[in-house]
Structure 1
Amino acid sequence: MSMAELVDAGAPELPEGYFYRVRPESFGLLLIEIRRQGRWFSACVESVHVRPGNYETAETAVVAACTRAAEWWGTQRRDAEAQEAARAWHGDHDPKGRA
């Protein structure tokens, strides 16, 4: 299945340079990963396990897991951006308002 087919099925579209990887795990689980493509290798940025037997179809299970992974990844990215913005406020602050 291509990325376009996965998105057409309902999975969130990922930014350029990112892709989903679906692979079997033990105990009837699937591991859905969001991966960042590097020059030679890719790195996992988020992962979710899903049990296809808990859904009507395997496609529904994979799309639900992709959606969950994308939501978690988005939350982590927003938190990282907020932490970066907060760095401007790090340090001691003069109680009298002097620089």
Structure 2
Amino acid sequence: MSMAELVAAGAPELPEGWFYRVKDDGMGYLEVEVRERRKRFGSRLLITALVREDEPNGRRAVAVACCRAVARIDEEREHARRLRQASQLIGDHPRGGR
């Protein structure tokens, strides 16, 4: 299945250099990985999501798992952004002080 087929089934389009990998997790379930190609060789794993069996269509089930994986990446980025903002407040804050 190509990325175009996954997108047609409802998966989000990924940025340039990223791709989906659908694989057997070894425990009888399918898993979607979002991966980023490395410049020299191979790829690095960004996030995974299990393909749930409650979808009536296999392609749709994989596309839904892709959506969950991308949403988790977005949530983690938002969490990191909030953490960076909060970390600017690290230090002592005495009453009336600077």
TM-score, normalising length: structure 2 = 0.84
> Are the aligned partners of 1:36 and 1:44 in contact in 2 as well (CA < 8 Å)?
yes
Query: What corresponds to 1:50 in structure 2?
Result: 51
Separation in structure 2 between the aligned mates of residue 88 and residue 27 of structure 1, nearest angstrom? 44
Residue by residue over 1:33-83, the C-alpha shift from the partner in whole angstroms, topping out at 9 and shown as x without a partner, is 11122212211111011244x321210110111111111121111101111
Return the letter of the residue paired with 1:74.
D
Query: What corresponds to 1:23 in structure 2?
Result: 23
Query: What corresponds to 2:34 in structure 1?
Result: 34
C-alpha RMSD of matched pairs (Å): 1.7
Aligned length: 97
Q: Which has the higher helix share?
A: 1
Q: Which runs of 5+ in 2 are unaligned?
A: none
Separation in structure 2 between the aligned mates of residue 91 and residue 16 of structure 1, nearest angstrom? 40
Q: Which runs of 5+ in 1 are unaligned?
A: none
Query: What corresponds to 2:63 in structure 1?
Result: 63
1:96–1:51 distance in 2 versus 1, CA, 3 Å: closer
| Percent identity (aligned) | 42
> Are the aligned partners of 1:48 and 1:68 in contact in 2 as well (CA < 8 Å)?
yes
> Following superposition, which runs of at least 4 residues in structure 1 exceed 6 angstroms of deviation?
none
> Are the aligned partners of 1:24 and 1:30 in contact in 2 as well (CA < 8 Å)?
yes
